[in-house]
Amino acid sequence: MKQGETFIRVRYAETDKMGVVYHSRYLDWMEVGRTEYFRQLGMTYSEIEKNNIFLPVIKAYCQYKSPARYDDLLRIVTTVTSLQEVRLIFNYEIFREDKLLTLGETEHAFVNHLGRPIVLKKHNPFLWRRLLEAAGEHTES
């Protein structure tokens, strides 16, 4: 099972009056995790969209264990935990050094530019195979 790893630095704009990062910003970072995951997979998300494949988020979940703060350097570990004909699940772990701050999960549909579901295996066999390899034993195809 392939893992993507990327780093972000917390921005002032991402904090709130409680003095820590506002909770919805973590979802923006998970998208950063996915972006780098696809790049490391050999097909950027920009290229995926140019191939008329869109991956809208249909479910998102986040568990906040410990707050991130301004200027923290964070590590996002991204994994594909489930790949099916018409949907995909990503898992995320966000760390400051060795401390796990946040766990997250997003579920995505495969759709075209009209929002219609597509079968990825037929629509883009290359991306399908790459994801299949990445997901490893988590795949149910």
Print the SS3 string covering 49-115: HHCCCECCEEEEEEEECCCCCCCCEEEEEEEEEEECCCEEEEEEEEEECCEEEEEEEEEEECECCCC
Q: Is 86 in the site for a copy of itself (CB under 8 A)?
A: no
Count, residues near a copy of itself per rule CB under 8 A: 36
The Cα–Cα gap between 95 and 34 comes to 16
**Mask 30-59, x = binds a copy of itself (CB under 8 A)?**
-xx--x--------xxx-------x-xxxx
Question: How far is residue 11's CA from residue 15's CA, in Å, rounded to a whole number?
Answer: 7
Whether 16 is catalytic: yes
Asked if residue 67 binds a copy of itself (CB under 8 A), the reply is: yes
The yes or no reply on residue 3 touching a copy of itself (CB under 8 A) is no
DSSP-based three-state secondary structure for 9: strand
| C-beta separation of 68 from 16 below 8 A | no
Q: How far is the CB of 135 from a copy of itself (least distance, A)?
A: 22
Residue with tokens 């979802």: 27
For residue 129, give the H/E element and its range. Answer: helix 125-135
By CB under 8 A, tell whether 139 contacts a copy of itself: no
Residue 81, interface with a copy of itself (CB under 8 A)?
no
Q: How far is the CB of 136 from a copy of itself (least distance, A)?
A: 26
Binding stretches for a copy of itself (CB under 8 A): 9, 11-13, 15-20, 22-25, 27-28, 31-32, 35, 44-46, 54, 56-64, 67, 70-71, 115
- List the catalytic residues: 16
